[in-house]
A and B are shown apart, each in its own frame.
Chain A
Amino acid sequence: MSRVLVAMSGGVDSSVAAALLVDAGHDVVGVTMKTFCYSDTSGHGKTCCGLDGISDAKRVAAALGILHYVFDVEEDFTRDVIDDFVSEYARGRTPNPCVRCNSNTKFPDLLARGKALECDRIATGHYVRVEHTETGSFLSRGTDTSKDQSYFLWGLPPSILPQLLFPLGELNKPEVRSRARALELATADKPESQEICFVPSGDYRDLLKRRLGPIHPALEAGPLVRRDGRIVGEHSGFAGFTVGQRKGLGGGFSEPMFVLEIRPDTREVVVGTQEETFLDRVVVADLNWLTDAPAPESSVRVQLRYRSPAVEATVTAAGGRLTLQLAEPQAAVTPGQSAVVFDGDRVLGGGRIESAGSLAPTSGVPSPPSA
């Protein structure tokens, strides 16, 4: 029987994933990744992040009769995830740190350490499925569409896929909870984690201020402008905004205003009506393919943010970047977020949204919607 390394965050999902693997008769080793220190964010002592997660994971591992270790990935996590998060916001973009972590830190480290521990399989508590077939291994959405986490896994090195196991792929959350309760796992009734793990307060701007310093263009006041260049107000730093955002733009408009675009060079935050947030052309960079890349002119489905449905699109250009023409304009297509390309439920791959616009002769700068 092969040995499986299961990543245990100390939450209920990965606890149940580990329990299912033990039940299935695998030789299971649990690990928790220590990603960063709260000392960096709170100023109190050396209390380390995830220490609660680590102790919960240890309790669950002991209850399951498996060994458990801590992988300290703090240095890699800081460089690959937190630094990237900060620099993306400083460029006026809205990053997906969980994608970055899975792609650059978590899975590569699990694979490398797993090899040292003679684990030929890597498992996590993600709600996704992986099919291992004669022709290769394929990643798909989890059966529970409300929990599906495939959006966060497009960046995995494709060579990892054959080694992955996702025991929760065909379960829904209530099933996972009841399983945890039946096993009397210490984590059975733990609440969901919603925040970005290294921004426990939920306010990422504090982190940006600490890491960028108090004087940085992204944190300085700048103009709120309309598409036609009219200045309609002032904002307190573009890093506090994301495309599609309505809050924080001040009042005095005849109809609700939304962020359409952030221009870091001029510190302008472009605002407009809800109608103006709809765009139908997306340029995607930093591509990663888990299967063959889609051919030009092919039809795909693309998911442009977490928890939003995939929409139909046509590939108009492929290569180093992918250009997608959406069948229907979509609201708030946000640079920095992931664009994940699907064939049905199967994840083909994805990339980071570089820019969005509408069918227009000029590239780069979006034009007003033609409606």
Chain B
Amino acid sequence: MSAVYLDHAATTPVRPEVVEAMEPFATANFGNPSSLHRWGQAAAAALEDARAEIATALGAKASEVHFVRGGTESDNLAILGSCRALARPGVVPTVALSAIEHSAVLEAGRHLEKGGEARLVVLPVSLEGQILSGPLESALSASPSLVSVMWVNNETGMVLPVSEVTTAAAAHGATVHSDASQAIGKVPVHLGKVPVHLLTATGHKISGPKGMGILFVRRGTKIRPLIHGGGQERGMRPGTQDVAGAVGLATAIRLAVSEQEEEAARLGGLRDVFEHGLLRELPDVRINASPAPRAPHVSSIGVPGLSDGDALLMALDLGGVAVSGGSACMSGAGHGSHVIAALYGDDDPMANVRFSFGHTTRESDIDLAIAVTAGVVRRLRGEGMYRA
């Protein structure tokens, strides 16, 4: 049966240009960039070219880009590493996280709190995408502090006010981290314009390789490594570097950033077609986070009257539409999304489905998704799969 993949916020197919760029570094140029000899030299050059390419695309300095194994590791290094660097004898730093951060950030923060290493503050986010200034200011005034606010929320596409938070934080000397995993290539991300101290990006959300990410660390920002070894990545992330992965990541970031404006317009158009079409078929669905600014590739839909969000996802899959619940990382875990709970309350009665669009999405995919979703929702409602 034919099926459409509308789960690009979970992961994406690797672009042919990326595969092509990586291939030589998996085969002929396989050297360890730390080696002295010609194989090592070729690998080191490619690694540094990749670092420079990423720095250029994001408005950073090459020395500020550290290769790590994916977004979760980058988030953990940012939160744990910078909090620990802020701690002084007798002083427990404050770590303030938006309520809709990825679990890689929230759980890292909870880990610090549990171990007595930080005072954790969860910052409420309004439906309009605002971080309330009261809680933010009070967290910032507790020095030293670290704030983490994601650039684009992975479950709803909501764009958060990273620039405003950074400005507010600057007045207090707080460190600011932003997870931009869902932002690169979808909205403008320029580190010269938004002076965050730490930024997370990952390859596989933008048609790059999985398990390949970066942590940007602005010069002068205090941070400690989490693992220890041979001193690679300026000691920030020891371990032999994955040169092919770094080259693939750099290619993916370069393409995503250079195509951002055009691709965002195309994806936003597809999203609007999808949302208008779905609302025509099912007028009572809710477009999650619609009052807020949103990135163009995510459409999170709340469906009223269905008791079982998992069954809806399974039925959509059997119908040929591959999507996620609130967040793919939670599918199968069967627990509600903390993002939907933060935005709509713990007792939000809707079954939530995330449709997300990407490089390979075409308008015909959208038409199929609307038809299948409307059919499945009507059938489940007709069968009385209502919340009791």
Interface residues of A (CB under 8 A from B): 29, 34, 67, 69-72, 74, 113, 115-118
Contact = CB atoms under 8 A, between A and B. Distances in A.
B315 A116 contact: yes
Given A72-B310, A116-B383, A67 B318 contact: yes
B234 to A, nearest CB: 32
A74 B332 CA distance: 12
Contact of B318 (A29, A34, A70, A71): A29
A117 B318 contact: yes
Interface string B346-388: 0000000000000000000000000000000001100101000
Contacts of B314: 69, 113, 116-117
A113 B310 CA distance: 9
Contacts, number: 37
The 9 closest A-B pairs by CB, nearest first: A72-B334, A116-B311, A70-B332, A69-B314, A113-B311, A116-B315, A117-B314, A117-B315, A116-B385
Contact of A72 (B317, B318, B333, B380): B333
A130 B385 CA distance: 28
Interface in B320-335: 332-334
A219 B312 CA distance: 45
B301 to A, nearest CB: 18
28 contacts: A29-B318, A34-B334, A67-B317, A67-B318, A69-B310, A69-B317, A70-B332, A70-B334, A72-B310, A72-B332, A72-B333, A72-B334, A74-B334, A113-B308, A115-B383, A115-B385, A116-B311, A116-B312, A116-B314, A116-B315, A116-B383, A117-B311, A117-B314, A117-B315, A117-B318, A118-B315, A118-B318, A118-B379
Contacts of B379: 118
Contacts of A115: 383, 385
B372 to A, nearest CB: 13
A292 B379 CA distance: 35
Nearest to B334: A72
Contacts of B310: 69, 71-72
Contact of B380 (A29, A67, A116): A116
Nearest to B317: A67
A113 B317 CA distance: 14
Nearest to A72: B334
A337 B315 CA distance: 38
A167 B372 CA distance: 32
B323 to A, nearest CB: 14
A12 to B, nearest CB: 23
Contact of B308 (A34, A70, A116, A118): A116
A112 to B, nearest CB: 8
A116 B317 CA distance: 12
Contacts of A69: 310, 314, 317, 332
Contacts of B385: 115-116
A29 B308 CA distance: 18
Interface in B287-339: 308, 310-312, 314-315, 317-318, 332-334
Contacts of A74: 334
A118 B308 CA distance: 15
B350 to A, nearest CB: 16
Interface centre among A67, A72, A115, A116 (most CB of B within 10 A): A116
B322 to A, nearest CB: 11
A74 B333 CA distance: 10
A176 B277 CA distance: 50
A71 B332 CA distance: 7
A65 to B, nearest CB: 12
Nearest to A114: B311
A69 B311 CA distance: 10
A29 B310 CA distance: 15
Contacts of A118: 315, 318, 379
Contacts of A71: 310
Contacts of B311: 113, 116-117
Nearest to B379: A118
Task: Pick the most buried of A29, A34, A118: most chain B CB atoms within 10 A of its CB.
Answer: A118
Nearest to B311: A116
Contacts of B308: 113, 116
Greatest chain A CB density within 10 A among B315, B317, B332, B333 is at B332
Nearest to A46: B333
Contacts of A34: 332, 334
Nearest to B318: A117
Contacts of B317: 67, 69
A76 to B, nearest CB: 11
Contacts of B318: 29, 67, 117-118
Interface in B177-195: none
Contacts of A72: 310, 332-334
Given A116-B308, A118-B315, 5 more contacts: A34-B332, A72-B334, A74-B334, A113-B308, A116-B311
